[in-house]
Amino acid sequence: MSTHNDPVDHADPVVLAYSGGLDTSVAIGWIRERTGRDVVAVAVDVGQGGEDLEVIRRRALDCGAVRAYVVDAREEFASDYCMPALKANALYEGAYPLVSALSRPLIAKHLVATARQIGSSTVAHGCTGKGNDQVRFEVSITSIAPELQCLSPVRDLALTRDVAIDYAVAHRLPIETTRHNPFSIDQNVWGRAVETGFLEDLWNAPTKDVYVYTDDPAYPPVPDELIITFDTGVPVAIDSEGVTPLEAVQELNRRAGAQGVGRIDVVEDRLVGIKSREVYEAPGAVALIEAHRALEALTLERLQRRFKRHVEQTWAELVYEAQWYSPLKESLDAFVEDTQRYVSGEVRLVLHGGRATATGWRSPVGLYDFNLATYDTGDTFDQSSSRGFIDIYGLQSRLVAARAAREGQAGTTQDDAAPVS
């Protein structure tokens, strides 16, 4: 990994979130031409796979960056961003496990660190003016460093895709350019997001080439059974083999993906007000959330678990809507973390045909009591207590019903009465 110790001789360069793709590669020269400022590129590895980051670093330099840094943030992303999402069972609009939304505040954090180290006043990203990510990057950046300015070449400097392709060809930039790439794709260790192209016609079903992380669930291999061990809400072992958070997600991506688990095709509400068709693959995230929910059902107190469902929805909405660093998100983090105190134990999960199903639970701190639950001999639950409980529990309902009957009778006049034949 490159370090940030190399001096930058140019005054106030722009720090660019660099992916190695067309838009951010062209943005390096485009920013220089339009603003007269040099560019320092920062590539952050959050498990997106593909090219080696050293290759991406060299490409940034070849495209005109005065410095290029790479950061291996996979462990940080899994531990500090994916695990909080898992503890919150975070699914935006009940479906999307926040694949891109989770990575943006982490990338922003490293962009800010670089900008402060080299004395830059401006951070740039490659997002368009129609999506959520422009908001996530810029709100995250200014939440950490309110003194910094943000720049989007695609949005602010009119760097459209056709202009970018023409620029790359004219300047012989070392990137693949095509006018026929059917999809816009973002991926990391937590999942993969696919949009645009023929998917913009909502009547078109996804074709098999849309999917990379998952195999077709219509033709699954034999069921895959595994046991996930959790400690305070975090997976720490799979089939008794110890794992880090990153290893847990990667292993579930592999095994759940082979069973077609985690395919999501939705129309969702973007932060900017547009409804958007999105296809996601998140086999590891979906499988882990299913197992985590199952363990919470065993270990959380009833009212705590009920209230947490409301918190989970708000938590997911905040992260989706660029509020990772907001005071409310911080407060909800404290609540979620407190609920995980006893979320420890094992869940047996069966992966098959696109589904992850919990088939067994056990925990040394669970609230399930066999002797209370059983209907067989040895039952320790005093059933005679239920009669008094029902009387008290239904007291107000009886009072309401009695009032309705009483007021209904008192309010009947002779004129309202049914005629007597």
Q: State the catalytic residue, choosing from 38, 45, 133, 215.
A: 133
Residue 356: inside a domain, yes or no? no
In angstroms, the CA 140 to CA 205 distance is: 35
Does 351 reside within a domain? no
Mean pLDDT of 132-141: 96
Residue at token pair 């039952």: 379
* pLDDT(420) > 60: no
Q: Is 262 left (phi over 0), alpha (psi -120 to 50) or beta?
A: left
Q: What is the pTM of this model?
A: 0.91
Return the percentage of the chain with pLDDT > 70, whole number: 93
CATH number at residue 324: 3.40.50.620
Question: Catalytic: 133?
Answer: yes
Q: What residue type is 4 in one-letter code? A: H
Does 34 have pLDDT greater than 80? yes
CB 246 within 8 A of CB 74: yes
With the C-alpha atoms ordered 165, 168, 172, 176, is the resulting torsion angle positive or negative? Answer: negative
> Does the pLDDT of residue 417 top 60, yes or no?
no
Q: What is the CA radius of gyration of the chain?
A: 27
Specify if 367 maps to a domain. no
Overall domain count for the chain: 1
Q: Report pLDDT for 182.
A: 62
Across the chain, mean pLDDT equals 92
Instruction: Give the pLDDT score at 2.
Output: 39
Beta-ladder partners of 193: 186, 280
Q: Which of 121, 184, 326, 363 is labelled catalytic?
A: 184
Confidence class for position 30, pLDDT limits 50, 70, 90: very high
| Residue 128 located in a structural domain | yes
**112 in a domain, yes or no?**
yes
Which pLDDT value is given to residue 1?
41
Pick from 280, 415, 382, 295: which is nearest to 343 by CA? 295
Average pLDDT on 224-240 reads 98
Mean pLDDT of 298-316: 98
Mean pLDDT of 200-224: 95
Whether 41 shows a pLDDT value over 70: the answer reads yes
- Is residue 243 one of the residues assigned to a domain? no
Please check the confidence at residue 112 and state whether its pLDDT lies above 80.
yes
The residue-averaged pLDDT of 306-334 equals: 98
Q: Which of 104, 192, 263, 355 is catalytic?
A: 104
| Residue 146 scores a pLDDT above 70 | yes
Q: What's the mean pLDDT in 22-32?
A: 93
Tell me which residue of 2, 60, 52, 70 sits closest to 28, measured CA to CA. 60
Whether residue 222 is contained in a domain is answered as no
pLDDT at 177: 63
- 21 assigned to a ligand binding site: yes
Q: What are phi and psi of 414, to 5 degrees?
A: -65, -35
Contact 364, 344 (CB under 8 A): yes
Question: Is 9 marked active-site?
Answer: no
Does some domain include residue 156? Answer: yes
Domain interval for residue 145:
1-215+263-280+302-341
Q: Which helix (H) or strand (E) holds 228?
A: strand 224-231
Beta bridge partners of 195: 184
pLDDT of residue 413: 53
Q: pLDDT value at position 4? A: 43
